[in-house]
Structure 1
């Protein structure tokens, strides 16, 4: 992060909010040694400038019944913009797809998908992905154990 518009105070505020977005400006003030009003102005600027894209609650996947995490590799049937667009539109409609990345190499996309169980995974692959006109090949791996999972950036 080499943007001259943010300084060490901004970085500290970003790191603290990344760890706990519920921190008040008073809480931030205590931790970064700035006044609450300065923290408020800085937070607002960081939001307006797009450094902070939003705030959300981190939900417990297991408690909510989505204990199966799956990594799915997808190869498209043809490689053109329309096919990639159609596949992107499909993914946008699928709430169980938590992440989707276009790749270089053998596979075109890798997806992180959560499902309640194996039956749901099977239905997702066989009834949603494989029949889609843009998809040629799907390869699925079930996550046995998650060693690290974070959306935090190394600020």
Structure 2
């Protein structure tokens, strides 16, 4: 990937509402070139969607947890179980993983009691969910998905 292309993607990741004019100015490129490159990224599926980040705590969700799940073989495949979990409310991400556990679920709750109720009444009731272990997040240090192959952020 060309460096300018990567920089366009980094700027869009940091702020998907940034204007073409601002990107062009920061990178010293014509607006038409920036527009063409972004359209190409969209058509190729490199840019899947534009989204925003909500403040979960301000919405009343004060607890975040990672729930490890073991899969119990039955009529459903592991992927089917993971997809069913992904449809539950309060689930942010679901991964099929390797190791002692089979599925990793990132979920939020209004408080620990709310999260516990969700685990016992929703998650554990899914056919194919065997055991769970819940890891409560005490403090978020970094949550960033910004592309940077150089490991250097030049855009502050």
In the superposition, the TM-score normalised over structure 1's length comes to: 0.89
Give me the whole-angstrom Cα distance separating, in 2, the residues matched to 1:81 and 1:114: 29
Give me the whole-angstrom Cα distance separating, in 2, the residues matched to 1:12 and 1:81: 47
| Aligned-partner SS, 1:130 | helix
| Aligned-partner SS, 1:146 | coil
Give me the whole-angstrom Cα distance separating, in 2, the residues matched to 1:95 and 1:129: 10
Unaligned 5+ runs, structure 2: 150-156
Conservation of the 8 A alpha-carbon contact between 1:97 and 1:114: yes
Conservation of the 8 A alpha-carbon contact between 2:88 and 2:122: no
Match for residue 120 of structure 1 among 114, 122, 133: 114
Q: CA deviation at 1:92?
A: 2.9
For the pair 1:130 / 2:124, whether they are aligned, the reply is: yes
Give me the whole-angstrom Cα distance separating, in 2, the residues matched to 1:154 and 1:35: 23
Identify the residue that residue 3 of structure 1 maps to in structure 2.
none
Q: CA deviation at 1:38?
A: 0.9
Conservation of the 8 A alpha-carbon contact between 1:86 and 1:134: no
In the superposition, the TM-score normalised over structure 2's length comes to: 0.88
Give me the whole-angstrom Cα distance separating, in 1, the residues matched to 2:130 and 2:91: 18
Q: How many positions carry a matched residue from both structures?
A: 149
Q: Give me the CA root mean square deviation.
A: 1.6
